[in-house]
Amino acid sequence: MFVSDILAQKGNFVFTVTPDTTVAQVAQELSARRIGAVLVLEDADTVIGVVSERDLVRVLSERGAAALDLRAREIMTGAVVTCDPDDSIDEVMAAMTRGRFRHVPVVRHGELLGLVSIGDVVKARLVEAEVETEALRAYIVAS
């Protein structure tokens, strides 16, 4: 299974914020959308960072309530690891494990095509495992 299979299921939409969005607004966005991370976009289509709930927890514990007025660009992770639609799900899982993050934007030729979360990856692996089990069961019954 490939990243493109996940996108075919969930679509290409990605929640994003601008670099000047406040931490309070980012928290509202994550809560309202029930998501764990937003991408930070500059000039409407260039990914320059990612802010996840982990970043919010870190900055709140460091700065207290004053953190709510900071901007996304001040707390984001700038070196964003991305994947390609043709990458395998195993490759994305390996990147998440290595980098200790749970969200990977899908980018090709500089164009943002979607976002894959650890939840999407686990779901895809479960479907794959079910298909394999069914195939094995059919093989055993037939032989």
Give the three-class secondary structure for 37.
strand
Binding mask 37-56 for ligand AMP (x = CB under 6 A): x------------xxxxxx-
In this structure, are residues 35 and 115 in contact, taking their beta carbons and an 8 Å threshold?
no
Site for ligand AMP, residues 54 to 73, rule: CB under 6 A = 54-55
User: Minimum Å distance from CB 37 to ligand AMP?
Assistant: 5
Spatial distance between the Cα atoms of 86 and 132, rounded to a whole number of angstroms: 21
Closest chain position to ligand AMP (CB): 52
In this structure, are residues 132 and 140 in contact, taking their beta carbons and an 8 Å threshold?
no
User: Minimum Å distance from CB 134 to ligand AMP?
Assistant: 32
Length of the chain: 143
Binding interface with ligand AMP (CB under 6 A):
36-37, 50-55, 77, 79-81, 99, 101-104
